[in-house]
Amino acid sequence: MPESLTQNEKIRLFREKIIKWYKEEGDRDLPWRNTGSGWAVLVASFLLRKTTVAQVLKVYEAFLKKFPGPNDLLATSEEKIKEIIKPLGIEHQRARQLKELAQTLSQKYGGKVPCAKDELKKLPGVGDYIAAEVLLSACNQPKPLLDRNMIRVVQRVFGIKSTKRRPHTDTELWRFAEKLVPTSPEDAKNFNFGVLDFARKICTAKNPKCTACFLKEVCNYYSELKNKHNIKFS
């Protein structure tokens, strides 16, 4: 990064560039990114495990039409649930997990999804990341979606390294990620989804597209790469 930039200036540029790119190139039409329903966000999170976005898109809207809330799913047998989600694989496990989730929401929260992190983490199968997804998308709370993809981007751009064997459990990294997220709920969503899409399309784990990257002028990883291999900015 240019040495004259302060960290706050770099954070501002990082936000602006990610949001601009997401609005132009991001996957903004994914239905779970455009919902205010905590249940819909939770369903998407559970369905997306160990499968692809393309596969989930085939069943997501049909699932929510059939089960618009936890109580609707509770009234249905696991066999019926498995029929809908079978294309995703491991349908026995998914159906059981969704049933457990719906049962907890129904019994402890009156069928509503809470908007408090501590309460969300009491739900079966919900950890820090899924809790942050619900808070961001359904509760309009600016939170970072700190999964391995965002961690990779943050570590590369800002040149920081977690000392934890499992970085997503690093409280210092979470605190830093929280500093990156805009305070506006809408900007926070665009920023988070932008980082995730950027990580998948450009800042990939292997063979990242560094020389074509719109963040290269502020990226610590690219700066080190440029100095090492004498790469010129294009």
pLDDT one-digit tens code per residue, 204-219: 999 999 999 999 999 9
- For residue 6, pLDDT beyond 80: yes
Provide the pLDDT for residue 141: 98
Residues 93 and 131 in one domain: yes
* Residue 11 belongs to some domain of the structure: yes
Q: Locate 141 and state its tokens.
A: 């709370």
Residues 173 and 129 in one domain: no
How many domains does the chain contain in total?
Answer: 2
State the pLDDT confidence band at 3, using cuts at 50, 70 and 90: low
Provide the pLDDT for residue 225: 85
- For residue 228, pLDDT beyond 80: no
Domain boundary among 108, 137, 166: 137
> Residues 7-14: what's their mean pLDDT?
95
Q: Which residue range is the domain that position 19 belongs to?
A: 7-29+143-229
Provide the pLDDT for residue 231: 56
* Residue 234 belongs to some domain of the structure: no
Domain boundary among 137, 168, 198: 137
Residues 133 and 196 in one domain: no
Provide the pLDDT for residue 167: 87
Chain segment 73-131, per-residue pLDDT in tens: 999 999 999 999 999 999 999 999 999 999 999 999 999 999 999 999 999 999 999 99
> Residues 147-163: what's their mean pLDDT?
94
Residues 171 and 186 in one domain: yes
- For residue 59, pLDDT beyond 60: yes
> Residues 28-43: what's their mean pLDDT?
96
Cα 213 to Cα 233: distance, rounded to the nearest angstrom: 10
Least confident of 54-58, 128-132, 143-147, 169-173: 169-173
Question: CA separation (Å) from 34 to 30, 99, 136, 230?
Answer: 7, 24, 11, 43
| CATH number for the domain that contains residue 69 | 1.10.340.30
Provide the pLDDT for residue 234: 46
Provide the pLDDT for residue 5: 84
Q: What is the mean pLDDT of the chain?
A: 94
- For residue 1, pLDDT beyond 50: no
Chain segment 161-195, per-residue pLDDT in tens: 888 888 888 899 999 999 999 999 999 999 999 99
Q: Locate 85 and state its tokens.
A: 């989600």
Residues 19 and 47 in one domain: no
Kindly give the residue spans of alpha helices, DSSP state H, lying in the chain: 7-25, 38-47, 53-66, 70-74, 78-85, 91-109, 117-120, 128-137, 148-158, 171-180, 185-201, 220-229
